[in-house]
Amino acid sequence: MTQLKQLITEAALSRGYSAAMVEAADIAYRRARRQARVPGTFDSAGRFYLSHRCACCEAIRDPSRSHPESELRHGRSAEHVASEFGQPALAVKRLLTLFKAYRNAVVTAMQDEPDLATRMKTELAPWKPNVA
């Protein structure tokens, strides 16, 4: 577990989020940065097809020669990852915002600011399951 993920997990659990929500947000973060692969296949024309389509994928255009990566781009979205892992999209989007906001701050701030986890907790809205 990376230091960033560890700090966000601590902040999220204290605010009512589950570990599964943090995991989904971490996967969405890594997919967005192209550090994790989106499950799917390319055909001979270079079009990408998701291996797992969810209800959120209905509005996405089918891949074509002129738009071969429409499903790939959607597969990196927080909405798709949340749906894929059965987590509320709002929770995953909130946690993904933390991952993006603190991606560079962790390394430098840990020496200068030991209460980084406390600051994350104050910025993360509490999770109320009936909100989703």
pLDDT digits (tens, 9 = 90+) for 53-98: 999 999 899 999 999 999 999 999 999 999 999 999 999 999 999 9
Kindly state whether residue 124 falls inside one of the protein's structural domains: yes
Torsion of CA 17, 20, 25, 29, to 10 degrees: 150
Are residue 92 and residue 131 in the same domain, yes or no?
yes
Q: What total number of domains does the chain contain? A: 2
Residue 80 falls within a domain, yes or no? no
Query: Could you say which of 28, 50, 75 is where a domain stops?
Result: 75
Residues 11 and 52 reside in one and the same domain: no
What Rg value do the Cα atoms of the chain yield, rounded? 17
Is the residue at 103 inside a domain?
yes
Work out the mean pLDDT of the chain and round it to a whole number: 87
- Residues 34, 57: one domain? no
Same domain, 47 and 31: no
Of 51 and 106, more confident: 51
Q: Which domain holds residue 66?
A: 39-75
8 Å CB contact between 88 and 81: no
65 phi-psi bin (left φ>0, alpha ψ -120 to 50, beta other) = alpha
pTM for this predicted structure: 0.81
3-state helix, strand and coil shares in percent for the chain, rounded to the nearest 5: 55, 5, 40
Does the structure show a pLDDT above 70 at 108? no
**91: CB partners within 8 A, 6+ apart:** 17, 21, 25, 82, 127, 132
Q: Are 70 and 98 contained in the same domain?
A: no
In this structure, the strands spanning 48-50 and 40-42 are antiparallel
Do residue 115 and residue 50 come from a single domain? no
Q: How would you write 38-92 as a 3-class SS string?
A: CCEEECCCCCEEECCCCHHHCCCCCCCCCCCCHHHHHHCCHHHHHHHCCCCHHHH
